């Protein structure tokens, strides 16, 4: 039985039609990775992939109609990876079985991804956003989301619209999301707190600061101390900060969580690699962070070197690891936990 099919056209400047062999073995495939080719426009509506569990499409040309036909023929598809889809500016997803969707540079230019019906979708992973607009109409089990970035022009989830990561006001927060990852150019506490109001049951928050993120967040609402943030009061257990430098901006951002996250267990600092993390540096940081006055007496602060880009570490052949962000934001071989 054929379990896997991989087709990547080696001549990157040329594209060829999808090999007929793919359709011939469709009834036995469990994993398919296809790149640098054109899907035929006359794909039969009866096309069937009864055992396909993961589909990776990379630099392929496919029409909206053909994409829908392919998905409808994948009755047990769990994982979908999409990157650089060509010759189309809108894709629609309806799937009763999809649990994981990963997108990276989805379209060549501007476009829209519409997730209409995904009753089993647990994680939506976004990397290297281009100009796409993302709309999620129904994903009632969504638990893991990110990276949210101001580079994404618009993402609409459960009637909350994030424009450049700034959320619209909504009376219906997203209570299913437990893990959230954010990608900003610099520490922006007001922006993060504004986002956290939309996720009252959040348990893990990952924030990566990256100089390569050029987009700035505009018209951010100011934090109002008299308006409590629910996840900080009763749910947030883990905070990870990546590319932490220990300067005034970084300390101010982190100190807010040290003093206000009431049930946090771990605050992990992924420190920039050019900083020498010795005992004196950590002691100075604990003083600046006012760690002795922490809101959660169970909190432990951990310092380690930042790892490489999370997406560069993500194994696109296995998208089902428990937490796709945790292992790549902090170098776990070089972590010092501080007992307070």
- Residue 280: CB atoms within 10 Å: 9
Co-location of 248 and 110 in the same domain: no
Residue 275 has a pLDDT of 86
- State the total domains in the chain: 2
Residues 209, 301 share a domain: yes
Flag whether pLDDT at 28 surpasses 90: no
The whole-angstrom separation of Cα 103 and Cα 125 is: 6
- Considering the domain architecture, whether residues 102 and 35 belong to the same structural domain is answered as yes
pLDDT for residue 197 is more than 80: yes
DSSP string covering 134-184, please? EEES--TT--EEEEE-TTSSEEEETTEEEETTEEPP-SS---S--EEEEEE
- Within this chain, do residues 333 and 243 fall inside the same structural domain, yes or no? yes
Question: Do the domain assignments include residue 170?
Answer: no
Confidence of residue 338 (pLDDT cuts 50, 70, 90): low
Q: Is 74 helix (H, G, I), strand (E, B) or coil?
A: coil
- Is the peptide bond preceding residue 147 cis, with omega within 30 degrees of 0? yes
CA dist 34 and 5 (Å) reads 8
For residue 45, what pLDDT is reported? 73
151 falls within a domain: no
pLDDT attached to residue 184: 86
Of 127, 142, 157, the residue that ends a domain is 142
* Residue 2 pLDDT > 90: no
Could you tell me if residue 104 is inside a domain? Answer: yes
pTM for the full model?
0.89
Residue 203 has pLDDT above 80, yes or no: yes
Q: State the DSSP string of 211-236.
A: TT--PPP-SPPPP-TTS--HHHHHT-
Q: Is residue 156 part of a domain?
A: no
In tens, the pLDDT along 85-144 reads: 988 989 999 999 999 999 988 887 788 999 999 999 999 998 866 678 999 999 999 999
Most confident of 37-46, 166-175, 195-204, 321-330: 195-204
Confidence of residue 170 (pLDDT cuts 50, 70, 90): low
Are 333 and 189 contained in the same domain? yes
Same-domain status, 258 and 134: no
| 88 & 215 share domain | no
Strand 79-85 to 54-61 pairing: parallel
- What residues make up the domain containing 48? 1-142
Within this chain, do residues 259 and 329 fall inside the same structural domain, yes or no?
Answer: yes
Q: What angle is formed at CA 85 by the lines to CA 81 and CA 28, rounded to 5 degrees? A: 50
Query: Using an 8 Å Cβ cutoff, are 197 and 170 in contact?
Result: no
Q: Are residues 148 and 179 in contact, defined by beta-carbon separation less than 8 angstroms?
A: no
43, 66 Cβ separation under 8 angstroms: yes
CB-based burial label for 125 (10 Å; 0-12, 13-18, 19+): buried
Pair (203, 316) in one structural domain? yes
Same domain, 187 and 323: yes
40 and 188 belong to one structural domain: no
Q: Is residue 176 part of a domain?
A: no
Of the residues 109, 142, 175, the one at which a domain ends: 142
Q: d(Cα 135, Cα 116) in Å, to the nearest integer?
A: 8
Confidence of residue 150 (pLDDT cuts 50, 70, 90): confident
Lowest mean pLDDT among 15-29, 135-149, 152-166: 15-29
What does the mean pLDDT of the chain come to?
84
Tell me whether residue 230 is in a domain: yes
pLDDT of 329 above 60: no
**Domain assignment present for 168:** no
Q: Does any domain span residue 217?
A: yes
Summarize the confidence of residues 225-245 as an average pLDDT. 90
Same domain, 99 and 204: no
CB atoms within 10 A of CB 144: 21
Domain stops at, among 142, 175, 208: 142
């Amino acid at each position: 039985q054929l379990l896997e099919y991989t087709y990547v056209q080696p001549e990157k400047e040329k594209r060829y039609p999808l090999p007929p062999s793919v359709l011939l073995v469709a009834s036995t495939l469990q994993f398919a990775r296809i790149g640098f080719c054109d899907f035929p426009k006359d794909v039969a509506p009866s096309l069937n992939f009864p055992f396909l569990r993961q589909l990776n499409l990379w630099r392929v040309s496919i029409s909206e109609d053909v994409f829908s036909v392919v998905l409808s023929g994948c009755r047990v598809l769990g994982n979908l990876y999409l990157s650089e889809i060509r010759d189309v500016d809108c894709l629609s997803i309806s799937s009763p079985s999809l649990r994981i969707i990963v997108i990276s540079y989805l379209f060549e230019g501007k476009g829209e991804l519409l997730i209409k019906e995904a009753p089993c979708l647990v994680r939506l992973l976004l990397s290297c956003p281009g100009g796409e607009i993302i709309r999620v109409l129904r994903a009632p089990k969504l638990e893991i989301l990110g990276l949210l970035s101001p580079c994404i022009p618009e993402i609409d989830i459960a009637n909350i619209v994030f424009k450049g990561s700034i959320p619209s006001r909504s009376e219906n927060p997203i209570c299913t999301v437990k893990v959230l990852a954010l990608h900003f150019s610099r520490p922006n506490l007001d922006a993060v707190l504004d986002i956290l109001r939309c996720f009252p049951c959040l348990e893990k928050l990952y924030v990566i600061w990256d100089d390569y993120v050029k987009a700035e967040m505009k018209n951010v609402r100011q934090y109002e101390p008299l308006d409590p943030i629910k996840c900080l009061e009763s749910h947030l257990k883990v905070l990870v900060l990546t590319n932490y430098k220990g300067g005034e901006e970084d300390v101010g951002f982190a100190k807010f969580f040290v003093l206000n996250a009431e049930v946090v267990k771990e605050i992990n600092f992924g420190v920039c690699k050019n900083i020498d993390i010795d005992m004196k540096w950590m002691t100075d940081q604990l003083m600046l962070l006012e760690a002795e006055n922490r809101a959660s007496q169970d909190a432990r602060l951990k310092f380690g070197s930042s790892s490489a880009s999370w997406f560069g570490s993500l194994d696109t052949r296995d998208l089902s690891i428990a937490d796709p962000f945790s292992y790549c934001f902090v170098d776990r071989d070089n972590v010092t936990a501080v007992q307070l």
